[in-house]
Amino acid sequence: MDKNVLVVAAHSDDEALGCAGTMAKHVAAGDKVHVIFMTNGVDSRNTSSNSDIENRQAAARKSADILGVTSMEYFDFPDNKMDTVPLLDIVKSIENAINELQPEIVYTHHIGDLNIDHQITHKAVMTACRPQPSFCVKEIYAFEVLSSTEWQTPGYLSFTPNVYIDISSQIEIKRKALGAYSEEMYQPPHSRSVDNSIRLNSLRGNSVGVDYAEGFILVRMIK
């Protein structure tokens, strides 16, 4: 049976770094993948402009098209300042989206990421996904994002994956999806690069005997 899948990301490119291969694998299986971005991802920069926002959104659309995403939506929370907004307001926006989309599976950020927007997004998702009777969401997974997850204080809510999704057949699609965000990617040795993202997927895959995988923390599963 086809499933509805929801990816909730703080900034556009987080979804591609964290779970683009898994998104493509869902699409290949006939699932509908929806993406929500909590902020525009550029407002916190000293030199941001309307054209920067438009370029970032165009990149997100290109990446989504490559992956076969069904729908994409931007919320309007302040970039890198989501902690200045009452959590209830953020929760309600996600609740409304869940009520509309009725996803069975949700992917979002790791609670231990360094980036404050990632942390708030995780908390809001978990609050919006309280397991009430007849609630649609049955599985919640947290993904890792290079230049945030690994930059947190050592030992503080570290990311230790317990689910590995084999994306060996989707790795080139992921590479293309990341390439759509060329203005957001750096060159090695910066950790947030296309090459390093693929290397991380190689490491995660080789850890479990496949060529490439994305690692996740299973937050909740209801069977």
Name the average pLDDT for the chain: 96
Whether the CB-CB separation of 66 and 28 falls below 8 Å is answered with no
Global pTM value: 0.96
- Report the SS3 class of residue 192: coil
- Nearest alpha-carbon partner for 38 in 103, 125, 111: 125
Domains and CATH numbers, the chain: 4-221 (3.40.50.10320)
Of the pLDDT bands very low, low, confident and very high (cuts 50, 70, 90), residue 47 is low
- Nearest alpha-carbon partner for 105 in 130, 139, 128, 135: 139
98-126: average pLDDT: 98
Res. 44: pLDDT tops 80: no
Interval 5-20: pLDDT, tens: 999 999 999 999 999 9
Instruction: Please give the pLDDT value at position 1.
Output: 67
Report DSSP letters for 52-76, one per residue.
Answer: HHHHHHHHHHHHHHHHT-SEEEE--
Interval 155-187: pLDDT, tens: 899 999 999 999 999 999 999 999 999 999 999
Res. 45: pLDDT tops 70: no
